[in-house]
């Protein structure tokens, strides 16, 4: 269910949280988590950022079954002072930002059906917990997420949420990072997707472009298929430093004066890792 506007649904608190009700998951739902987990666990050691893999270990996400948010929050609290709280689905932007600004990550408490193994429209517990929570055990990324929440609260007052949302999309959801072993994935939308975990690193179709905040905030994104461009950060320290040092208000004004960039476009000034063929997107008739 989607709750983009309005008041919290029946049974939810004023901040839109609900009890996880861990005891209500069926054996089949726990087994589906295990199946999704095992599939990604095989793929990710050679592909995901070392910081993500370390988070899986520290938080013991490999233990069988859908994680209990209370036990998970205790480990996460010890690592970086973050918690995981349950919500029924998408929540309003201002409520979402308020949680992040206070180091609370909101996670859907439901799990996809077996028919939705590879694609779903609303973030479920596997996307939210497996995809997002491991990096919250990393102190630098943990600070970045809080800074994003605080930035969201300011963007709200400046009418700039759509611009700032692009930063979340191209880093937190679909980011790539340079590592000693070459390019690695860290975005939650990639690491929680079997297909995109391969596509984002290995497919010749998408562009892979060096992170540039102004350029990124001009770039539209697609929500219905694999990305046509990915942005590569040098390190989480660099990402955090840039977002803390940048004064976003003038940046939003600058972006407003410039044209949007289409998801597949490459600019002369881009720092290009891969110039994509866009063959995948072209075959689907979208590029």
Interface residue list for ligand HBI (CB under 6 A): 87, 90-91, 93, 96, 106, 123, 165, 168
Report the partner that residue 133 touches, choosing among Fe ion, ligand HBI, none (CB closer than 5 to 8 A by kind).
none
Query: What CA–CA distance (Å, rounded) separates 217 from 168?
Result: 10
* Cβ-based neighbours of 217, under 8 Å, separated by 6 or more: 163, 164, 166, 167, 251, 252, 255
Using CB under 5 A, which of the segments 58-66, 155-163, 186-194, 251-259 binds Fe ion?
186-194
Using CB under 5 A, which of the segments 52-60, 67-75, 122-130, 264-272 binds Fe ion?
122-130
Report the partner that residue 90 touches, choosing among ligand HBI, Fe ion, none (CB closer than 5 to 8 A by kind).
ligand HBI
CA distances, 23 to each of 28, 113, 204, 214 (Å): 13, 18, 44, 46
Using CB under 5 A, which of the segments 47-55, 102-110, 116-124, 212-220 binds Fe ion?
116-124
Nearer to ligand HBI (CB atom), residue 173 or residue 270: 173
Report the partner that residue 91 touches, choosing among Fe ion, ligand HBI, none (CB closer than 5 to 8 A by kind).
ligand HBI
Q: Tell me the two tokens of residue 173.
A: 């959801």
Give the footprint of Fe ion on residues 230-259 (CB under 5 A): none
Closest by Cα among 212, 217, 211 to 258: 217
Nearer to Fe ion (CB atom), residue 188 or residue 240: 188
* Cβ-based neighbours of 195, under 8 Å, separated by 6 or more: 118, 226
Partnered with residue 90 across adjacent β-strands are 2
Per-residue binding letters, 136-165, with Fe ion (x by CB under 5 A): ------------------------------
239-269 burial, b if ≥16 CB within 10 A, otherwise e? bbeebeeeebeebbeebeeeeebebbbeeee
Nearer to Fe ion (CB atom), residue 78 or residue 121: 121
Q: Which of 188, 191, 200, 209 binds Fe ion (CB under 5 A)?
A: 188
At closest approach, how far in Å is the CB of 225 from ligand HBI?
18
Give the footprint of Fe ion on residues 47-76 (CB under 5 A): none
Which residue's beta carbon is nearest to the bound Fe ion?
188
At closest approach, how far in Å is the CB of 145 from Fe ion?
11
- 98 and 149 Cβ atoms separated by less than 8 Å: yes
At closest approach, how far in Å is the CB of 131 from ligand HBI?
10
Query: What CA–CA distance (Å, rounded) separates 97 from 167?
Result: 14
- Beta strands per DSSP E along the chain: 83-87, 104-108, 176-179, 182-185, 207-210, 229-233, 272-274
Pairing between β-strand 272-274 and β-strand 104-108 as defined by DSSP bridges: unpaired
At closest approach, how far in Å is the CB of 124 from ligand HBI?
10
CA distances, 239 to each of 66, 172, 284 (Å): 31, 11, 33
Using CB under 5 A, which of the segments 75-83, 110-118, 142-150, 180-188 binds Fe ion?
180-188
Q: Tell me the two tokens of residue 191.
A: 């690491």
At closest approach, how far in Å is the CB of 234 from Fe ion?
23
Pairing between β-strand 229-233 and β-strand 272-274 as defined by DSSP bridges: unpaired
Report the partner that residue 188 touches, choosing among Fe ion, ligand HBI, none (CB closer than 5 to 8 A by kind).
Fe ion
In the complex, the residues that contact Fe ion under the rule CB under 5 A are: 123, 188
């Amino acid at each position: 269910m989607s709750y983009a506007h309005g008041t919290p649904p029946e049974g939810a608190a004023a901040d839109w949280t609900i009890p996880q009700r861990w005891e209500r998951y069926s054996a089949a739902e726990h087994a589906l988590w295990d199946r999704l987990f095992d599939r990604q666990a095989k793929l990710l050691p050679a592909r995901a950022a070392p910081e993500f893999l370390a988070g899986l270990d520290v938080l013991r996400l490999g233990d069988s079954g859908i994680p209990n948010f209370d036990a998970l929050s205790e480990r996460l609290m010890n690592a970086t002072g973050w918690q995981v709280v349950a919500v029924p689905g998408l929540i309003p932007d201002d409520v979402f930002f308020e949680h992040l600004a206070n180091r609370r990550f909101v996670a859907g408490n439901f799990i996809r059906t077996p028919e939705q193994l590879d694609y779903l429209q609303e973030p479920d517990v596997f996307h939210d917990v497996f995809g997002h929570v491991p990096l919250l055990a990393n102190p630098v990324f943990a600070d970045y997420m809080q800074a994003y929440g605080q930035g969201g609260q300011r963007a709200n007052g400046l009418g700039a949420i759509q611009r700032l949302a692009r930063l979340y999309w191209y880093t937190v959801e679909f980011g790539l990072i340079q590592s000693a072993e070459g390019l690695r994935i860290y975005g939650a939308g990639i690491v929680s997707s079997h297909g995109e975990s391969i596509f984002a690193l290995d497919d010749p179709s998408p562009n892979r472009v060096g992170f540039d905040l102004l350029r990124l905030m001009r770039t539209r994104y697609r929500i219905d298929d694999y990305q046509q461009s990915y942005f590569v950060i040098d390190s989480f320290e660099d990402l955090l430093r840039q977002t803390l040092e940048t004064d976003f208000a003038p940046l939003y004004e600058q972006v407003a004066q410039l044209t949007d960039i289409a998801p597949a476009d490459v600019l002369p000034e881009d720092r290009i890792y891969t110039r994509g063929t866009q063959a995948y997107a072209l075959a689907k008739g979208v590029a």
